[in-house]
A and B are shown apart, each in its own frame.
Chain A
Amino acid sequence: MELAFYLSSLVAVLATVGVITGTNPVHAIVYLIVSLIAVALVFFALGAPFAGALEIIVYAGAIMVLFVFVVMMLNLHPDAEREQTWTHPRYWLGPSVLALVLLAALVALLGQGGVGETIDGELLTAKAVGMTLFGPWLMVVELSAILLLAALVTASHVGRRSNPLRNNENRGGTP
Chain B
Amino acid sequence: MNGIPMEHGLILASILFSLGLAGLMLRRSMLFVLMSLEVMLNSAALAFVVGATAWNQPDGQAMFLLVITLAAAEASVGLALMIQLYQRFRSLDLDVASRMRG
Contact = CB atoms under 8 A, between A and B. Distances in A.
Please give me the 10 A-B residue pairs with the lowest Cβ-Cβ distance, nearest first.
Answer: A20-B23, A159-B80, A151-B73, A95-B25, A118-B3, A99-B22, A103-B18, A144-B69, A155-B80, A158-B80
Contacts of A161: 87
A17 B35 CA distance: 12
Contact of A2 (B1, B46, B75): B1
B49 A51 contact: yes
Contacts, number: 249
Nearest to A91: B26
Interface string B10-38: 11101111111111011111011011101
Interface in B43-62: 45-46, 49-50, 52-56, 58-59, 61-62
In this complex, the interface size class of chain A, counting residues with CB under 8 Å from chain B, is 35 or more
Main secondary structure on B side of the interface with A: helix
Main secondary structure on A side of the interface with B: helix
Interface of B: 1-12, 14-23, 25-29, 31-32, 34-36, 38-39, 42, 45-46, 49-50, 52-56, 58-59, 61-62, 64-66, 68-77, 79-84, 86-88, 92-93
Contacts of B71: 59, 63
A119 B53 contact: yes
A99 B4 contact: no
